[in-house]
Amino acid sequence: MRFCGILPDGTLGSWNSDLCNNALPNRVIRFVGIRNPLMLYLPYPMSLFCSPYHFAFIDAVSYYYQREGIPTDSDDLAKKMALDADSIKQIRKMTASTLLPFAEIYTSACAERGPIEHSCHAISHGFAETFLNTTLKESLPLAITIGNVWFKGANIYGVTRDKVDAVIRHGFDASKTIDVHVWLTLSDMTVIDLSILSTLHSLGLTDSEPPAGNRVMLWRDEVRSDFKYEPLLVDNDFYSKVERGLVFGVVS
């Protein structure tokens, strides 16, 4: 399959990618968001998969509703977001076999156009929009997530909700960089971060630049690592609130 997608600078890139046509059982419900709803899963039987990241993610979704003036209940969100063990296993298998390689292909294509460090919101949004046009968009829904990332105990961005709100209120400003971090979260609470490894190198926090094919961070709360993620806001429209115009991807 010849794949075409939107790069962070808004231009169209194309490359070869074979996307499988597997699908999870049809347990998807749509909620959250106006133009780009998140996809969350109704469990049967219900089994809460709760880690510190999961609790923070629920709170970040609740904060989205609060900002939009939409009444919500955190307990109800937690129930809707619960996954059974089989669903988690399927998601993680598909993530390893398809999503992660695809993210590496996309990130490498972006890197060929220019530096990807400090472009977390653009590259995350571009990949999410591009992925929406694949056969896996309902099986592996991606949530744009804004918040903090720690590396070896150091908070890289020092993001607060007040800072996130200020960035959104300020809107587009070509003279400023957006001083928050953005990544993607899967429904099993796996983090996919397309830019942090390149950003850490640009900040002098790592010795070498990540090579092509190894630029994407896959992180899970239960796996010991040098990283820690804290979601503060989940908003699939974040890019359109802080940048000029919208980005969409297509498959041909």
Encoded tokens for 49: 């998969």
The pLDDT of residue 71 is above 50 = yes
Would the pLDDT of 187 be above 80?
A: yes
Average pLDDT value for residue range 182-198: 96
Cα–Cα separations (whole angstroms), residue 183 to 14, 22, 47, 168, 232? 23, 24, 26, 17, 11
pLDDT at 36: 38
Average pLDDT over residues 14-27: 37
Question: Is residue 18 predicted with pLDDT exceeding 80?
Answer: no
Find how far residue 204's CA is from the centre of its chain.
24
- Least confident piece of the model among 29-33, 66-70, 98-102, 182-186: 29-33
Q: Where exactly are the structural domains of the chain?
A: 2-243
Q: Which two tokens stand for residue 149?
A: 């990332």
CA distance 50 to 241: 30
Least confident stretch, 84-98, 150-164, 232-246: 232-246
The pLDDT value given to residue 177 = 66
In the three-class reduction of DSSP (H, G, I as helix; E, B as strand; rest coil), residue 182 is classed as strand
For residue 49, what pLDDT is reported?
47
The pLDDT of residue 175: 57
Residue 250: pLDDT over 60: no
Residue 118 has pLDDT above 50, yes or no: yes
Range among 53-62, 67-76, 205-214 rated most confident: 53-62
Whether pLDDT at 84 is above 60: yes
The predicted pLDDT at position 40 comes to 39
Angle at 194 between CA 167 and CA 246, to 5 degrees: 50
pLDDT reported for residue 249: 37
Per-residue pLDDT of 133-178, as tens digits, reads 888 888 899 999 999 999 999 999 999 999 999 989 877 666 566 7
Residue of 49 and 209 predicted with greater confidence: 209
CA pair distance 6, 182, nearest whole angstrom: 17
Mean pLDDT, rounded, of the chain: 78
- What does the alpha-carbon distance between residue 204 and residue 209 come to, in Å, rounded to a whole number? 10
Among the residues of the chain, which ranges form H helices? 52-68, 74-80, 85-94, 100-113, 120-131, 161-170, 196-202, 238-242
More confident residue, 110 or 148: 148
Is it the case that residue 97 has pLDDT exceeding 50? yes
Kindly tell me if the per-residue pLDDT of 35 is higher than 50. no
